[in-house]
């Protein structure tokens, strides 16, 4: 029987495991290094850093550390993530409450850790973050509430909308925002599954 993966404890007690080894830039092949550099030179690395994108020796953290092991899939996946994060018409609050809805539904420690920080910077209060973690978010803004309700519905696998449901969402959000939210939920659910399968927790700092 193979040995269990080595483990280290992150800063708030969440286990960080090594089912996949951290790859430093010097250990990467050409395709892996190209993906690494695309991530570390892109918009994720600019501005305020709410959580570390790399370890001290340059290995990618979180889902990116998984993606770099399979760059043929990882490269287009991170491109989709970049579009979801930086190229949609979603407000920062709606984007982050949607991601945190995924984190709660999937039990993703890393997504909760990273996006609670980003969400707070986007204007979500501590009370709202607590409500999102409990799966009980409410907003006085009808568009925010409709966005959250849609995400919860998708995450509960009740995504088939009646014509009435669909018409109501389009009236409140518009078809573009509706499309963006459906893709966002699918993308972050994929990341949550990667993080779960490879037992990626909160990075040590």
In this prediction, residue 50 carries a pLDDT of 84
In this prediction, residue 7 carries a pLDDT of 40
pLDDT surpasses 90 at 81: yes
**pTM to 2 decimal places:** 0.88
Give pLDDT tens digits for 102-114.
999 999 999 999 9
Cβ atoms < 10 Å from Cβ of 113: 20
In this prediction, residue 5 carries a pLDDT of 44
From the list 202, 185, 204, 194, the residue with the least C-alpha distance to 70 is 194
Q: Is the dihedral of CA 129, 89, 149, 104 positive or negative?
A: negative
How far is the C-alpha of 181 from the C-alpha of 185, rounded, in Å? 6
How far is the C-alpha of 178 from the C-alpha of 201, rounded, in Å? 30
pLDDT surpasses 70 at 165: yes
**Local confidence band at 56 (pLDDT 50, 70, 90 cut-offs):** confident
Token pair for residue 197?
Answer: 């399968």
How far is the C-alpha of 45 from the C-alpha of 183, rounded, in Å? 23
Which of 10-19, 88-97, 155-164 shows the lowest mean pLDDT across its residues? 10-19
In this prediction, residue 131 carries a pLDDT of 98
95: left (phi over 0), alpha (psi -120 to 50) or beta: alpha
Give pLDDT tens digits for 14-47.
344 568 888 999 999 999 999 999 999 988 888 7
In this prediction, residue 205 carries a pLDDT of 55
């Amino acid at each position: 029987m193979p040995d269990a993966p080595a483990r280290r404890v992150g800063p708030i007690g969440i286990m960080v495991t090594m089912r996949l080894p951290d790859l430093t830039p010097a250990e990467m092949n050409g395709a892996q290094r190209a993906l690494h550099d695309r991530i570390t030179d892109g918009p994720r690395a600019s501005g305020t850093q709410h959580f570390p994108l790399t370890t001290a020796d340059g290995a990618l953290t979180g889902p990116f550390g998984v993606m770099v092991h399979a760059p043929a899939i990882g490269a287009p996946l991170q491109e989709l993530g970049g579009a979801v994060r930086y190229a949609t018409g979603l407000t920062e609050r709606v984007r982050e409450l949607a991601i945190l809805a995924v984190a709660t539904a999937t039990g993703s420690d890393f997504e909760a850790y990273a996006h609670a920080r980003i969400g707070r910077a986007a204007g979500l209060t501590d009370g709202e973050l607590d409500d999102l973690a409990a799966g009980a978010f409410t907003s006085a803004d009808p568009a925010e509430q409709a966005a959250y309700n849609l995400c919860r519905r998708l995450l509960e696998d009740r995504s088939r909308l009646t014509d009435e449901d669909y018409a109501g969402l389009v009236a409140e959000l518009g078809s573009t925002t509706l499309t963006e939210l459906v893709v966002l939920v699918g993308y972050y659910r994929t990341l949550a599954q990667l993080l779960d399968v490879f037992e990626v927790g909160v990075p040590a700092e």
